[in-house]
Amino acid sequence: MFGVGLRREHYPYLTEKPITDIDWFEVISENYMNTEGRPISVLESIRKDYPITCHGVGMSLGSSNEIDPNYLKDLKALIDRLDPFLVSDHLAWNHWNGIKLHELIPVPYHEESLKIIANHIDYVQNELQRQIAVENISAYFNYTTSTMNESEFLSLLVQQTGCSILLDINNIYVNAKNFHFNPVDFIKTIPKESIAQVHLAGFTDMGTYLFDTHAEPVHQEVWNLFETSLELIPENIPIMIEWDENVPEFHKLEAELNKARQIMNKRDKNETRKITKPVL
């Protein structure tokens, strides 16, 4: 139930096959697609001991161009090789007319983009022959043409395509601060049963805005939002910590993940109290 992002800084430690507090790993799909060599051989060795998820950054679901069939072919080959329990990407675009950007760019939230992205998700799910999870992103600008917000847009995508949602609590907090909305209202809008995974990560406070850097521990405000939102997310779903810059030693990552465990355990105890109350 509790995972972390697999990063190359931890390969030497993990290849020693230590006993860890980690239940599963999330891997960035593009780092292992259409490649041979040390990274994929380390991953295959880890895969023998842990379940994994494939998390992509290059599908570009939000582009007005078609999804690249070669990209999907490579992703399908990786999925066949690793048998992940979840495949995900973002509600964003980063490819357009041959231009590739190394950022996840938000989309405008309106009927026209909804139709395009729903078609893309249908196509991807058909090609991969499986459901995908779509993640809410952190953004630093929005579009005056949007007629709805990101959570309403994601909910419509779930209705129209049967995709699931990868809910990033840190992204919601960052956007809520930068764009001044209530983060709990955002989570309330997402159909609970559609949430397939949760991301937690650290942002950097830039003074005038919050920046989703994944370079710090999870901030207390994000832990608080996670705890406040527990009733709005399903029980027993995979929860993971993303840490991409200033990657700490593995034990620090495990300690961070154990904070999530403690919060979930607290919920389970409360649930037990709720259930036993009528009997008493």
Contacts to Fe ion by CB under 5 A: 168, 199
Q: Which residue shows structure tokens 């295959």?
A: 44
Nearer to Fe ion among residue 13 and residue 85 (C-beta): 85
> Of the candidates 195, 251, 241, 188, which has an alpha carbon nearest to the alpha carbon of residue 218?
241
Which of 141, 16, 18, 128 shows the shortest CA–CA distance to 83? 128
Query: Minimum distance between the CB of residue 169 and Fe ion, rounded to whole angstroms?
Result: 9
- Residue where the block lists tokens 């040390």: 38
Q: CB of 137: closest distance to Fe ion in angstroms?
A: 8
Given the complex with Fe ion, which of 74 and 89 has the nearer CB atom?
A: 89
Least Å distance between CB 171 and Fe ion?
Answer: 6
Q: How far is the CB of 242 from Fe ion (least distance, A)?
A: 5
Which CB sits closer to Fe ion, 69 or 234? 234
Which residue's CB is nearer to Fe ion, number 7 or number 199?
Answer: 199
Give dist(CA 261, CA 181) in Å, integer: 28
- Smallest separation, CB 227 to Fe ion (Å): 18
Q: Where are the beta strands (DSSP E) in the chain?
A: 2-5, 24-28, 52-55, 86-90, 93-96, 99-105, 133-135, 164-168, 195-201, 204-205, 210-211, 239-242
Which candidate, 164, 210, 215, 214, places its Cα nearest to that of 190? 164
Min dist. Cβ of residue 4 to Fe ion (A) = 12
- Please provide the size of the chain in residues: 280
- Indicate the residue among 138 and 161 with the shorter CB distance to Fe ion: 138
Looking at the Cβ atoms of 40 and 218, the one nearer to Fe ion is 218
Task: State how far the Cα of 238 lies from the Cα of 275, in Å rounded to an integer.
Answer: 23
Q: Determine contact, residues 118/159, Cβ cutoff 8 Å.
A: no
